[in-house]
Amino acid sequence: MSEFLKKRLSELEFSELKKLYFKVFSSEEGRLVLQDLKNRSFFDTSTVEVQGIWHTDRIFFHEGIRSSILHIITMIDLTDYDNEKIDKEISDELT
């Protein structure tokens, strides 16, 4: 990361950072990227068991990936209702 970005990020208030996350991930493109990240990050699936076998090393790795997506969702502060509403609006625009 460049020194400029490090400095700029350190100067942001938490509320400003949350607004940036929301701006990026509430657009149609952002929603598509977020859904892709969810699909790739074990967001809606178990990270504990793979084909009946427990792999502790994989669990830690998968949970690390999953926690990144949970952080994004926490930062954009969308409820299930908000998610459904935005998804419907995007779907309506595409049809």
Question: In the prediction, which pLDDT does 63 show?
Answer: 82
User: How far is it, in rounded angstroms, from Cα 39 to Cα 6?
Assistant: 30
Determine the 3-state secondary structure of 44 from DSSP.
Answer: coil
Tens-digit pLDDT string for the chain (95 aa): 799 999 999 999 988 998 899 999 888 899 899 989 988 887 777 666 666 666 777 778 888 888 888 889 888 876 555 666 666 666 676 66
- pTM comes to 0.64
Return the domain boundaries, the chain.
Answer: 15-83
Nearest CA among 46, 22, 44 for reference residue 35: 44
User: How far is it, in rounded angstroms, from Cα 16 to Cα 71?
Assistant: 16
Q: What is the DSSP-derived secondary structure letter of residue 45?
A: S
Nearest CA among 24, 43, 32 for reference residue 91: 32
